[in-house]
Amino acid sequence: MESRELDALVASVPRQLFIDGRWSDAASGSHLTTLNPATGRPLAEIAAAETADVERAVAAARRAFDDGRWTGLTPMQRSRILWRVGELIERDADQLALIETLDNGKPLSSAKKVDLPQAAQHFFYHSGWCTKLEGETMPVSWPRHLAYTLREPVGVVGQIIPWNYPLIMAARNLAPALACGNTVVLKPSEETPLTALWLARLLAEAGVPEGVVNVVPGYGRTAGAALAGHPDVDRLVFTGGVVTARDVVTASAGNFKRLTLELGGKAPFIVFADADMDAALQAAVRGGFGNQGQNCCAVTRLYLHKDIAREFREKLVAATERLKIGEGREEGVEFGPLISARHRDRVESYVGIARDEGAAVLTGGERPQADGFFLKPTVLAGVTDDARVSKEEIFGPVVATYDFDGPGEAIARANSSPYGLAASVWTQDLSLAHEVARRLRVGCVWTNCFSRFDAAAPWGGVKQSGYGTGIGRHAIEEYTQPKAVWIDTATGDAVRGLPAF
Ligand code: TXE
């Protein structure tokens, strides 16, 4: 695409806050500038929400919830609107993928193959739930009583999302919340607000009524904190880092809002000696360096059985060095820049920490070029289990390798992390695979595969990876509240006096 066309595309993204179905500037006139991580240069300047704007957005969401403009539609009407959102995402997929690449830095091929289809899938899948929010009847021990549940939306939902998968995060949070009849205030990351703003326009086009979804990009300390602490937000979904999560949990105490927290990870990837080596190798490279390692489920701790460790490590280094690094739009690029200079510096500092702790840097660790926020994909060896790089989430392209002997040892070391989000196990031994999956303290285990996501499958962590499940049937539970209704059926004139049975 010519640079003039590209400028026109970026210029066509909405630049304002989307509140109550209308586009407006922040009350204070504040703006924020998003950068293109591949060049480090400004990409777009957009309105930055502050407390007063979040107040306005929550008030709009509350009105939209209370007056029933969303829940008052029939389930089938809501279902069709959400399905239509999925279709509109597909219609605009090329533009959205390009904007995502410019704003986030990820390779365009990944944006097209992963981000766009998954974003659409969340609306297609969750649209089906609108017509299936059933209550139940309970066999209570009170004679001649009928007790049943109504499954009701929780109300106004706040959603604070990060920058690593901006459109997927927006879609996968909005779709189930809306399917259940809630109204939403979504705060995208200040680093990557553009595709969420485009999505807001698609929601309106699909027929989501005014005020049902409000999108307020802004900084975490202002807009994010205002949303987390707002007394009229009934549920808050936060995806981000553990340090921020502590503030969010504290802020939520004001009105005891319910929380879903999807935080970091430190995914172990265990390769037994009988594994399909080529498949495991490919998955380790993709899992460690896909999205520049900026994944909560990225392969960060690669446990290799001692019989294959040496060969695997050599092949891993060779495959890592073959990755084509560059600006996401370039043909064949597999590895782009990190999200920001600050984040690149932080990830880079971990390479220094690893060296200081005695690790060997087998490849990577340095910046390949001056422009943009690039850092080469990095493989470490000789890392001890109690090293900081073994314990702390780096959230970048740094894979540490370890040797192990037997399954008990691999499981114990894999579990020795404060995090528990995802893990991967590679073996041809079916019994071993099931047993390891059962014993790992994580929310998701991929066996002989990696990074499988589907709107139908739950996603959530244990330990410091957070709590709650934001996707699929389990998310439906979290976005709804069962209300128990009791009826004494013996009190009507017609039935009074009839014998109980
Ligand atoms: O995330 P933050 P950052 C991890 C990863 C990374 C670290 C820091 O380890 O290195 O977090 O990244 C909003 N109240 N993950 O600083 O701060 C913020 O505006 C309310 C893991 O980018 O957690 C953004 O919208 N909200 C992760 C969102 O929180 C606040 C994805 C995430 O930002 C806030 C990203 C506040 N006080 C980072 N401060 C994953 N699990 O996928 C910030 N925010």
For the Cβ of 247 lying below 6 angstroms from any atom of ligand 1, the answer is yes
Does the Cβ of 229 fall within 6 Å of ligand 1?
no
Average pLDDT per 10 consecutive residues for the chain, totaling 501 residues: 89 98 98 98 98 98 98 98 98 98 98 98 98 97 95 98 98 98 98 98 98 98 98 98 97 97 97 98 98 98 98 98 97 98 98 98 93 97 97 98 98 98 98 98 98 95 95 93 96 82 64
| DSSP string for 32-84 | EEEEETTTTEEEEEEE---HHHHHHHHHHHHHHHHTTTTTTS-HHHHHHHHHH
SS (H, E, C) 364-426: CCCCCCCCCCCCCCEEEECCCCCCHHHHCCCCCCEEEEEEECCHHHHHHHHCCCCEECEEEEE
296 carries an active-site annotation:
yes
- With vertex at residue 192, the alpha carbon angle to CA 191 and CA 196, rounded to the nearest 5 degrees, is 145
Contact between 97 and 160 under an 8 Å Cβ cutoff? The reply is no
Any ligand 1 atom below 6 A from CB of 239? yes
Distance 239 CA to ligand 1 centre (A): 7
- The CA 10 to ligand 1 mean position distance, Å, reads 25
Q: Does any ligand 1 atom lie closer than 6 A to the CB of residue 165?
A: no
pLDDT recorded at residue 186: 99
Query: Which protein residue's CA is at the shortest distance from atom 25 of ligand 1?
Result: 189
Residue 347 CA, closest ligand 1 atom number: 10
pLDDT for 336 equals 98
Question: What's residue 370's pLDDT?
Answer: 74
Burial letters 176-210, b for 16+ CB under 10 A, else e: bbbbbbbbbbbbbbbbbbbbbbbbbbbbbebebbb
pTM of the model: 0.97
The yes-or-no answer to whether 3-263+465-484 and 267-447 have a common fold is: no
The fold of the 267-447 domain, in CATH, is Aldehyde Dehydrogenase; Chain A, domain 2 (3.40.309)
DSSP states along 220-281: IIIIIHHHHH-TT--EEEEES-HHHHHHHHHHHTTTT-EEEEE----EEEEE-TTS-HHHHH
Model pLDDT, residue 493: 83
Taking the C-alpha atoms of residue 318 and residue 77, their distance in angstroms, rounded to an integer, is: 54
For the chain, which residues make up each domain, given as ranges? 3-263+465-484, 267-447
Q: What is the pLDDT of residue 501?
A: 64
Q: What was the pLDDT predicted at 359?
A: 98
Task: Give the model confidence (pLDDT) of 44-79 as tens digits.
Answer: 999 999 999 999 999 999 999 999 999 999 999 999
| Probe target for ligand 1 pocket from 34, 238, 244, 471, with the most ligand atoms within 8 Å of CB | 244
Index of the ligand 1 atom closest to the CA of residue 393: 9
Does residue 372 line the site of ligand 1, with CB under 6 A?
no
Q: Is 244 in the pocket of ligand 1 (CB under 6 A)?
A: yes
Question: Under CATH, what is the fold of the domain 3-263+465-484?
Answer: Aldehyde Dehydrogenase; Chain A, domain 1 (3.40.605)
Cα 228 to ligand 1 centroid, rounded to whole Å: 13
Catalytically annotated residue among 130, 296, 297, 444: 296
Q: How far is the CA of 466 from the centre of ligand 1 (A)?
A: 13
